[in-house]
Amino acid sequence: MLKKMSKALCALFVSLSVMLSGLPAIHASQSSQELIGELIRYYAAYQESAETDIMRVLDELEDVDAAEAEVWGQIMDYWSYVNTEMDVNLDVAPDGLPDDDTLCFVVLGYQLNPDGSMRDELIGRLSVALASAEKYPNAYVACTGGGTAADNPNATEADQMAAWLIEQGLDPDRIIVENKSSSTVENAEFTYRILREEYPEIDSLALITSDYHIPRGCLLYNARLLLSAYEAGDKLLTIDSNAGYRAGHEGYESVALQANGVCQIAGLYDLASQISDGTYEQPTLSRLISLNITITPQKTVQVKALYTSGYTRDVTNLAEISGYDPNAEGDQEVTAVYSENGVRKAATIKVSNAQIDDPAVEDPGQEEEQKPSQSGGAPTSVSDLGTVYAAMIMTAAYGIFMLRRKSQR
């Protein structure tokens, strides 16, 4: 008998352990650096599919440092933008940029030949820069890149670039040289310092590099500019546009390479290495559980989504809403449908505008019975489930211990 009870308790212990392991992790309060690392990991792993979790982590970061959360919200928005919406201009900068000296074209360097001479791809970037500078004769041109010639330690990308532009007739007074950097991340950091300290009239930048490098280059420059302005309490330099040299590559640089650079800018060097070699821990996506509909006192429909992480977000503008007329009399059945990452949920409430007009009813939508299509009722919070399961595991473990102790007597 004791053996059967012991086996049953062991089975319960194992089952509960498996159930508990399936719950989203419940973290203690995290530092801003940990949360920033989580933002980067989410986008690196899932890109646009991680929108909800990126919003959730940004909300957590806001509780730690509201100003830093605002900056990282802009960085994450721009990261999505460069990979989904940004136009890559080819051959010359587009129309509509500032016509005065508030504009600066930033030309990114490229590894030199061993003897210090420029490779064709770098000359191609400079040709785009020259055409852009001729189109905007009042703009500055910043050449950026350090020493990359294996057999010529005195040659730098930026110095070679500046010399070429001057040979083509560009006024030396328009050229800015940054010749210490050895990567795109350093290009952004060192160029920012020079522009802020020596050229306060410059407000906006247009990035010039090879076409495949435009998204990553713009992303890293934008992140560095935002963080530098935040850290120094200084005026923000903006990236207004770009122009790319047709290098003949297919597609753009990988999201992993982008994430590596963002990690370096954030000072997360261990995570940068892990992302580069593919060993970083991929976070778990929040999964849509159910929808909640309310009718506001202003007679508008509000739809909120609930996720496995316990997070809720307003999805009113993303949901399909039907069955509601704010001017109609009598009962109405309002339905909302929303899909995210392959999960589709719907909810329905019955509402009367007469109730909404009654000043005694502050939020009638909260009072109405809601019928989620697939959820089977309101979910228990993740933290509550974790507590219950943990308590049951401890009880099962104690029972096993007592039975074994009794059998040994």
> Residue 2: inside a domain, yes or no?
yes
Q: Which residues contact 270 (CB under 8 A, 6 or more apart)?
A: none
Q: Tokens 């963002």 label which residue?
A: 262
The answer to the question of residue 123 being in a domain is: yes
Give the whole-angstrom CA distance, residue 168 versus residue 162: 10
Answer with the one of 200, 229, 253 that is the final residue of a domain.
Answer: 253
> Taking the CA atoms of the chain, what radius of gyration do you get in angstroms?
29
Residue 58 lies in a domain: no
Which CATH number goes with the domain that contains 239? 3.40.50.620
Per-residue CA distances from 218 to 68, 182, 248, 359 (Å): 20, 17, 19, 52
Nearest to 244 by CA among 139, 138, 105, 118: 105
> How many domains is the chain partitioned into structurally?
2
* Same domain flag for 129 and 246: yes
354 near 299, Cβ under 8 Å? no
Whether 212 and 144 map to the same domain: the answer is yes
**Which domain-ending residue is among 206, 232, 253?**
253
Any domain includes 279: no
Question: 350 lies in which domain range?
Answer: 1-24+287-409
| Pairwise CA distance, residues 259 & 281, whole Å | 14
Q: Do 246 and 298 reside in the same domain of the chain?
A: no
Q: Which amino acid is at 168?
A: Q
Whether residue 133 sits in one domain with residue 241: yes
Which residues neighbour 28 within 8 Å (Cβ) at sequence distance 6 or greater?
none
> In one letter, which amino acid is 329?
E
pLDDT tens digits for the chain (409 residues)? 545 545 554 554 445 444 444 444 444 578 999 999 999 999 999 999 999 999 999 999 999 999 999 999 999 999 999 999 999 999 999 999 999 999 999 999 999 999 999 999 999 999 999 999 999 999 999 999 999 999 999 999 999 999 999 999 999 999 999 999 999 899 999 999 999 999 999 999 999 999 999 999 999 999 999 999 999 888 899 999 999 999 999 999 999 999 999 999 999 999 999 999 999 999 999 999 999 999 999 999 999 999 999 999 999 999 999 999 999 888 999 999 999 999 999 999 998 876 665 433 333 333 333 444 433 333 334 444 444 445 455 555 555 555 455 555 5
Q: Is residue 83 part of a domain?
A: no
Nearest Cα neighbor of 377 from 316, 292, 296 is: 292
Kindly give, in sequence order, each residue whose CB lies less than 8 Å from that of residue 237, ignoring residues fewer than 6 positions away: 192, 195, 196, 202, 203, 204, 205, 225, 229
Structural domain contains residue 353? yes
